[in-house]
Amino acid sequence: MTTASAAEHLVVEAARQLVADHPPDTTGTADFLGARFDAGLAWVHFPRGSGGLGVAAGLQGAVDAIVTQAGGPDPFALNPMGYGMAGPTLMAHADAALQRRLLRPLYTCEEIWCQLFSEPGAGSDLAGLATRAVREGDGWRVTGQKVWTSKAHQARWALLLARTDPDVPKHRGLTYFVLDMRDPGVEVRPLRQLTGDSEFNEVWLRDAHVPDTRRLGDVGAGWRVAMTTLMNERTAIGGGSIARGTGAIGDALTLWRDRPDLRDAGLRDRLVSLFARADALRLTGMRHAAERGEAPAGPLGSLGKLAGAELNQSVYEFCVDLLGAEGTRFPGYEGDDPGVQDSVGWKFLRSRANTIEGGTSEILRSILAERVLGLPGDLRVDKDRPWREVPRG
């Protein structure tokens, strides 16, 4: 047996043993995910003892497929910023003590995470952010405002990017921290969305304190750490469905099966086309994971996020069109219905955010053009100017 096949056998047998010893239908979410972490099946490429087995990252899909088929909980759905972004960032840049404290409760979803990056004047131009972190004793005092922060109202921890030096060009004056959202200097204000939910928030930081022990990377090297987060975010969002015919396209297939009275030839052709796009995205994600191997997530992950976001919107537009007039009714504004997020209407409205969150489609196209295809970059007149001298709206 080759080394690669031995590693695959190891993770497959470990995953089968996990669901046999901890049946998902009778095991609590935190207990199941804790057992999965302890078995090294959280991020299989992480070291042993840190939620992994030290094997190729591409083998994660085999574990996920077995757990999903058994009905196990999805940590990305429950704690997306934690699982998709914070975990890989902590593994790459945190010291061993911080990893031991944070990784397991992150994975079990007992501690939810959010991402304090975007600001009212710094969205697509993230490096232009104005939130300040000033050294104070053994830590940092942080003041500023963040916005569009998903899960901030539920989060215990936050990935925070702040400016520590305004006298150097914008990319070089940033430092990266882990912020305790329970600090008295943190205020969270929910924002009402198109769906009627308040999933997004604005966050005010008024002299919030961060110990220097929760700084990730060197002072002034926050942009490099942030790239770890963003590349993993886009790879996680755009990785495609685990199994064929699941995810958004699975909703469309189920609706088509359940409503034969609404079918016509034109809609059938649209569904076939969408299925082909979904399968191409799934296979592309698998190929990218296999080719990437042990390498960190890179700019090519933007391709999956871009294609997946636009596919989701197309799929739910199809679903609404299939339902016709029935699809225009949305029960989410009529009261708190716990099942509304399973409705086509909610998913159609929520998909509007897909091409904005995690990097707009315009930004992702620029990344792919410049960093993957090698095309000339956009003109950047403020690249070498101190941040303090750059005009801001």
pLDDT on residue 390? 87
Phi, psi of 348 (to 5 degrees): -65, -50
Q: Which of 13, 119, 233, 370 is catalytic?
A: 233
Instruction: Specify the CATH number for the domain of residue 60.
Output: 1.10.540
Give domain status of residue 381, yes or no. no
Q: Residue 392: inside a domain, yes or no?
A: no
Domain holding 191, by residue range, is 113-221
Q: Which of 107, 137, 160 is the last residue of a domain?
A: 107
Q: CA angle, 120 as apex, 117 and 124 as ends, to 5°?
A: 60
- Which of 154, 188, 221 finishes a domain? 221
User: Do 26 and 142 fall within a single domain?
Assistant: no
Per the domain annotation, does 321 fall within a domain? yes
Q: Would 196 be classed as within a structural domain?
A: yes
Position 146 in a domain: yes
Is the domain of 321 the same as that of 258? yes
**Do 125 and 51 share a structural domain?**
no
250 in the same domain as 334:
yes
From first to last of the 393 residues of the chain, give the pLDDT tens digit.
567 788 999 999 999 999 999 999 999 999 999 999 999 999 999 999 999 999 988 899 899 999 999 999 999 999 999 999 999 999 999 999 999 999 999 999 999 999 999 999 888 889 999 999 999 999 999 999 999 999 999 999 999 999 999 999 999 999 999 999 999 999 999 998 888 888 889 999 999 999 999 999 999 999 999 999 988 776 666 555 567 888 899 999 999 999 999 999 999 999 999 999 999 998 888 887 777 666 666 778 788 889 999 999 999 999 999 999 998 888 766 655 556 888 899 999 999 999 988 788 998 899 899 988 999 988 777 878 999 998 876
CATH code where residue 307 lies: 1.20.140.10
Phi-psi region of 144 (alpha: psi -120 to 50; beta: other; left: phi over 0): left
pLDDT of residue 239: 56
Tokens linked to 14: 């470990």
Whether 247 and 366 map to the same domain: the answer is: yes
Written as one letter, the residue type at 212 is D
Q: Among this protein's residues, is 233 annotated catalytic? A: yes
- For the chain, the domain total comes to 3
Q: Is residue 378 included in any domain, yes or no? A: no
